[in-house]
Amino acid sequence: MSKTDNREIRVAIAGLGNVAAAIVMGIEYYKNVKQEEKYQAGLINASVGGYLPSDIKIVAAFDIATTKIGKDISEAIYAEPNMCHPIILPENMPKSNALCYPGPISDGCYQTKDSKGKIIFDTYNYFKAYNEKDVKPSNITQVLLDNKAQILVNLLPVGSYQASRIYAQAALDANCALINGIPEFIVSEQVEGDRDWVAEFIKKGLPCAGDDIKSQVGATIIHRTLAKLFLDRGVIVNDTYQLNIGGNGDFYNMKSEERLTTKRKSKTSAVTSVLPYGDKVGCRIGPSDYVPFLGDKKICYIRINGTTFGGLPLVCDMKLRVEDSPNSAGLIIDLIRQTRLAIDRGIVGRLDSISSFSFKHPHIQPSSDFEAKKWVQEYIEGKRER
Ligand SMILES: NC(=O)c1ccc[n+]([C@@H]2O[C@H](COP(=O)([O-])OP(=O)(O)OC[C@H]3O[C@@H](n4cnc5c(N)ncnc54)[C@H](O)[C@@H]3O)[C@@H](O)[C@H]2O)c1
Confidence of residue 220 (pLDDT cuts 50, 70, 90): very high
Whether the CB of 12 sits within 6 Å of ligand 1: no
Q: Decide if pLDDT at 354 tops 80.
A: yes
CATH number for domain 9-214+326-380, candidates 3.40.50.300, 3.20.20.150, 3.40.50.720, 3.90.226.10: 3.40.50.720
Q: Say what the pLDDT of residue 258 is.
A: 82
Percent pLDDT > 90 in the chain is: 85
Please compute the mean of the pLDDT values over residues 138-163 and round it to a whole number. Answer: 97
- Residue 99 CA to ligand 1 centre (angstroms): 18
Preceding amide of 211 cis, omega within 30: yes
Q: Which of 75, 119, 156 to mutate to test the pocket of ligand 1 (most atoms within 8 A of CB)?
A: 156
- Please name the residue whose Cα sits nearest to atom 27 of ligand 1: 108
pLDDT digits (tens, 9 = 90+) for 358-372: 999 999 999 889 999
**Mutation to probe ligand 1, out of 69, 119, 153, 155 (largest number of atoms < 8 A from CB):** 155
What integer pLDDT is reported at residue 201 of this predicted model?
98
Confirm or reject: Cβ of 13 under 6 Å from ligand 1.
Answer: no
Give me ligand 1 centre to Cα 142, in Å.
Answer: 22
Worst-scoring range by mean pLDDT, 7-16, 179-188, 255-264, 371-380? 255-264
Pocket test for ligand 1, best of 63, 179, 262 (most atoms within 8 A of CB): 63
Confidence of residue 1 (pLDDT cuts 50, 70, 90): very low
Q: Which CATH superfamily is domain 219-323 in?
A: Dihydrodipicolinate Reductase; domain 2 (3.30.360.10)
**CA-CA distances (angstroms) from residue 105 to 49, 140, 141, 142?**
37, 12, 15, 17
Quick check: 186 and 165 in contact, CB under 8 A? Answer: yes
What pLDDT is recorded for position 255? 84
Q: How far is the CA of 250 from the centre of ligand 1 (A)?
A: 6
Q: In terms of pTM, does the model score above 0.85?
A: yes
Residue 103 has pLDDT above 80, yes or no: yes
Return the closest-CA partner of residue 13 out of 179, 128, 224.
179
**Average pLDDT value for residue range 362-386:** 95
What is the distance of C-alpha 52 from the center of its chain?
Answer: 20
142 CB-near residues (< 8 Å, 6+ apart): none
- Calculate how far, in angstroms, residue 321's C-alpha sits from the geometric centre of ligand 1: 20
CA dist., res. 212 & res. 181, Å (int): 4
Sequence-distant contacts of 250-253: CB under 8 A, at least 24 apart: 250/17, 250/18, 250/157, 250/158, 250/287, 250/324, 251/287, 251/289, 251/290, 251/291, 251/298, 252/126, 252/290, 253/109, 253/157, 253/158, 253/159
pLDDT over 50 at 342, yes or no: yes
Q: Which residues pair with 121 in a beta bridge?
A: 111
Residue 266 near ligand 1, beta carbon < 6 Å: no
Q: How confident is the model at residue 80 (pLDDT cuts 50, 70, 90)?
A: very high
Domain ranges of the chain: 9-214+326-380, 219-323
Q: Kindly give the number of the ligand 1 atom that is closest to the alpha carbon of 254.
A: 43
Mean pLDDT across the chain: 94
Which amino acid type is present at position 50? G
Q: What pLDDT sits at residue 254? A: 87
User: 121 or 370: whose pLDDT is higher?
Assistant: 370
Residue 115: per-residue pLDDT: 72
- Residue 18 Cβ < 6 Å to ligand 1: yes
Q: Is 319 helix (H, G, I), strand (E, B) or coil?
A: strand
Find the 130 Cα to ligand 1 centroid distance in Å. Answer: 17
In this model, does residue 25 exceed pLDDT 90?
yes
Residue with CA nearest ligand 1 atom 36 = 15
Distance of CA 117 to the CA centre of its chain: 34
Q: What distances in angstroms separate CA 212 from CA 179, 215, 323, one per listed residue?
A: 9, 9, 18
The response to whether residue 155 sits with its C-beta less than 6 Å from ligand 1 reads yes
